[in-house]
Amino acid sequence: MRERRCSLCGVAEEQPPEAAYFFLKDASSMKPNRLLLLPRSHDYDGRLPLSKMPLKARLELWHAAIKHAQELWGDDWGVAVNGDEVRTQCHSHFHIGKLLKGVEYGKPLTVKGPEQFPVPMDGTGFWVHKHGNRMHVHTGEQRAETVLLR
């Protein structure tokens, strides 16, 4: 856990054992407005982290991420999960931030909530945000976090 890519694993170990997840300010000075949400468990580390999570745990994380994002950024929130190729940390985590203006592109999936979010099985990440009374899910991304304010 001394390696940089394992630093979030070390932080997870410091959390109370009963905690299912925790929030952490992004340590990068280049991302002062960014927050991370991490599961305490290491069971979801490595490739395809979302596919390793039981549905209940995954939904709990998504609901917590979205609720906290709304508290911080109102309707301008975004939550992103980077793909396997660009993830710099081995511990699974979600990026929470303010959605940049004008980043809406492509043909996003329109859903009611996290229960309808896809689980990428190809190593890509994705990002979600509020869109009217629904949410947009943008899939097929590697570096999904770039749509969020640094």
- The CATH number given to whatever domain includes residue 95 is 3.30.428.30
Q: What is the pLDDT of residues 103-142, one digit of tens each?
A: 999 999 999 999 999 999 999 999 999 999 999 999 999 9
Q: 16-34 in b/e burial notation, b at 16+ Cβ within 10 A?
A: eeeeebbeeebeeeebeeb
Give 97's strand partners. Answer: 78
- Whether 3 shows a pLDDT value over 90: the answer reads no
pTM comes to 0.94
CA-CA distance, 50 to 34, in Å (whole number)? 20
- The per-residue pLDDT for 6 is 79
Query: With 0-12 CB in 10 A as exposed, 13-18 as middle and 19+ as buried, what is 72?
Result: middle
Give the residue numbers spanning the domain of 80: 4-147
Overall domain count for the chain: 1
Q: Each residue of 54-105: pLDDT tens digit?
A: 999 999 999 999 999 999 999 999 999 999 999 989 899 999 999 999 999 9
Q: Does residue 33 carry a pLDDT above 70?
A: yes
The mean of the pLDDT values for the chain is: 95
